[in-house]
Structure 1
Amino acid sequence: MTDINDLRAPVLAINNLPNVDSNYTMHYDETNNIRRLHLTPNGLNVRVPQCFVLGGIAHRGAPPLLGFEDLRTVLRLQNSTQELKLAHLGKGDFLNLLNCSKIETLLDWLFSQNLFVHYHVLDPLYWSIVDVVDSVVTENGNVHLMMIAPMLKNDLYSILRDNVETTADLLGQYTYPDVGHDRRAAFIAELRDLLEIQRQLLPPFNFQMLRGLLQIAAKLDVLPYLENEPPNVLIDGFGDFYLQRIALFRNSTHILDIETMIEAYLRDLDLRDGNARLRNFSFVDSKDHPWVQVSDVIAGLLGKFFGFVNRTPAPDINYARSQFTDRQKRSLKMLTHLIGRSVEECPAFVHYVVSLEDHQRREGVLGF
């Protein structure tokens, strides 16, 4: 049995989240759900993991009634279209999608309906490597080290994401995260060598701080999150991220597209709100739920956006924006308004597990 209040209490204790206990209807879909990320003899099972996005549309109370014919009319869909997908509105990367007239139409329409968007975004590679920093910080116990942990995680990620194949090879040699006691010193030594090779990627101060962290790591007797772990398994599923949303917004109704693995995961937890069984979520066939179809488009568009942010250095982002067409400018402005209105309503509508650098790149595009 799992009481969701035990999960949400630590989040509420350290964050100001107005309206998180309000009654919303939250529709969901997802994109880039690789289901499992692990190391193989040939590298990662997914060569270049993309940002996982779980999200969609939210509305106070019950959402407006929406039939598929309404979507067909608003978005000028072909008569042969029976279910809305992102590909029906546009194709290509984020920049191409911003230049599609139907994407602009959808964003304008969503804003006019007084709807909110909500999403959880996860960078799988970043999530996988932060245990290195957390292990050192936890075992060392230095408060100042804890305060700069986000910066250290960002910098370690910067040197490891520069060449994903090299990173996968390094992690695979040590059956990461199950590095273990006997191989720990060699693993840390290889990270230090890689840092020296890649030092040009970091400002001098950041380089020195990360080198200092790895020097501390070499002297510790235990690295807690790098021992007695399932070998070669970086992510064993995304169920926890569904659970976080359902638990945090416990007074809301959560309507999710069918995902049998997630259904089984949540069912096995026997979720409770205090003594009462938790009944605030359901899985539905998207063909019968137009708002879930709209959520599919939003999750897909956001997946493209965070992929663009993740793969594009800040100077290149700035250059791309300087070349925007009028439609791209209008579409981005409306997407920004939608997200901004949603954050103002409830900051918990958006949640990020990404590096500090990717936060900064996102802010460079959205302005927040």
Structure 2
Amino acid sequence: MIDVNELRDPIIAMYRLPGIDEVFTFYYDETNNVRKLHLTAGGMNIRRPDCFVLGGIVHAGAPRAINLGSLRAALRFQPNVKEIKLRLLGNGDLLELLDSAKVECFLRWLSDEGFLVHYQVTDLLYWSIVDIVDAILSEADAPQLVAVHMMLKDSLYTLLRDDVDGTAELLGRYSYPDVGHERRGAFVAELLDLLDYRENMLPHFQFYMLKGLLQIARGLPSLPYLEDESPNILIDGFGTFFLNRLCLFKNASHILDDEQQIETYLRSIELTDDGAALEHFRFADSKSEQGIQLSDPIAGLLGKLFTYLNQTTADEIADDLARMGDRQRSSLALLARLLDRSTDVCPAFAQYVISDEDRRRASFMLESEILAG
């Protein structure tokens, strides 16, 4: 049994989120759900996992009928096309999708109809390794480092992100996250050696702060999150991401795409709201649930966006923006304004488990298009 307020109240207190108690209807789909991420003899079971996105459309009020007739007509879908899917709107990477007339049409229709967008994006590698920083800070008496914990996570991720194979090999040698007490010193020593070797990847201040953190780790009696854990298991499932949304928006209705693993997980948990049973979500077949159909392209497009941002430097993004054609610019501007309008209604519609650097890249790309429009 879980009281949703025990999970949501600390988040609301920390971020002072407006609109969190309003009545909304959320529709969900997901993309890049690898089910599990673990270390293998050859690295990771997914060599370089793309960003996981749980998201879709949202509208104010209780569930209501959604008519897709005008959208299907605008997309020129034949009657035998049963569902709206991203793959029917376009193919390829982000830049190729932005050049699709159907993607542009879809985004324009969503905006004209007044729908909003919600999403939770997670960089799976980032999420897997930031426990190193949290483990040290939880034991160290270093309030000056706690104050810059996000910068420290960003710095560690910068150190490890570009050589995914090398990072997986390093973590695998220590059965991460089950590094254990005996191997902890050697693990931290390797991170320090790697930091010195790649010093030029970080600004001086970030380099010395991360070095200080790792040096502190050498003298700590224990490192929680890195001991007595399941060896080689980086991510054991995505149910907690769904649970987060259900708890955060307790007054909303949540309509989720059929996913047996997630349904089994959520059905095993009895959610309550101050002692009263809370039954505010259901699973549905996308063929009969138009809101889920609209969520498939949104989740897929955002997955492409954040994977692109994760794997593309700021300079390369600037070059790509300069080379964009009219349709690409139009589609990106439509997406940027849709995301901006959504978070104006409720900032918690967007949640991120990604590095600060990738958030800066996202701001640069999306804000450039809003300003240009």
Short-chain TM bin: over 0.9
| Alpha carbons of structure 1 residues 277 and 63: separation in structure 2 relative to 1, 3 Å | closer
Structure 2 partner of 1:277: 277
8 Å Cα contact 2:56/2:295 also seen in 1: yes
Displacement of 1:149 after TM fit? 0.9
Structure 2 partner of 1:168: 168
Structure 1 distance, partners of 2:240, 2:192, is: 32
Q: Report Cα offsets for 1:104-130 as digits up to 9, x if no partner.
A: 111111111111000000001000000
**2:194 alignment partner, SS class:** helix
Displacement of 1:240 after TM fit? 0.7
Structure 1 distance, partners of 2:258, 2:74, is: 26
Q: Report Cα offsets for 1:256-295 as digits up to 9, x if no partner.
A: 0011111111111211112221111001011111210110
Structure 1 distance, partners of 2:260, 2:172, is: 30
**1:144 alignment partner, SS class:** helix
Consecutive unaligned residues in structure 1, runs of 5 or more:
none
8 Å Cα contact 2:154/2:355 also seen in 1: yes
Structure 2 distance, partners of 1:325, 1:92, is: 16
| Alpha carbons of structure 1 residues 223 and 239: separation in structure 2 relative to 1, 3 Å | same
Structure 2 partner of 1:112: 112
- Partner AA of 1:308 in structure 2: Y
Structure 1 distance, partners of 2:8, 2:119, is: 17
Structure 2 distance, partners of 1:66, 1:14, is: 35
| Alpha carbons of structure 1 residues 328 and 34: separation in structure 2 relative to 1, 3 Å | same
Displacement of 1:68 after TM fit? 4.9
1:323 aligns with 2:329: no
- Partner AA of 1:80 in structure 2: N
Q: Report Cα offsets for 1:179-233 as digits up to 9, x if no partner.
A: 0000000000111111122222111221111111111111111111111111111
**1:128 alignment partner, SS class:** helix
TM-score by structure 2 length?
Answer: 0.96
Structure 2 partner of 1:263: 263
- Partner AA of 1:335 in structure 2: L
* Identity level (%): 52
Structure 2 partner of 1:142: 142
Moved more, 178-187 or 188-197: 188-197
Structure 2 distance, partners of 1:58, 1:25, is: 6
Structure 1 partner of 2:74: 74
RMSD: 1.2
Displacement of 1:78 after TM fit? 3.3
Moved more, 102-111 or 56-65: 56-65
8 Å Cα contact 2:52/2:124 also seen in 1: yes
Structure 2 distance, partners of 1:10, 1:16, is: 10
Moved more, 306-315 or 63-72: 63-72
Structure 1 distance, partners of 2:126, 2:269, is: 27
Consecutive unaligned residues in structure 2, runs of 5 or more:
369-373
Structure 2 partner of 1:342: 342
Q: Report Cα offsets for 1:286-326 as digits up to 9, x if no partner.
A: 11112101100000000000011000000000110011111
Q: Report Cα offsets for 1:33-80 as digits up to 9, x if no partner.
A: 011111111110111111000000000014663345443213212343
Structure 2 distance, partners of 1:278, 1:198, is: 50
- Partner AA of 1:27 in structure 2: Y
Structure 1 distance, partners of 2:199, 2:364, is: 25
Structure 2 partner of 1:233: 233
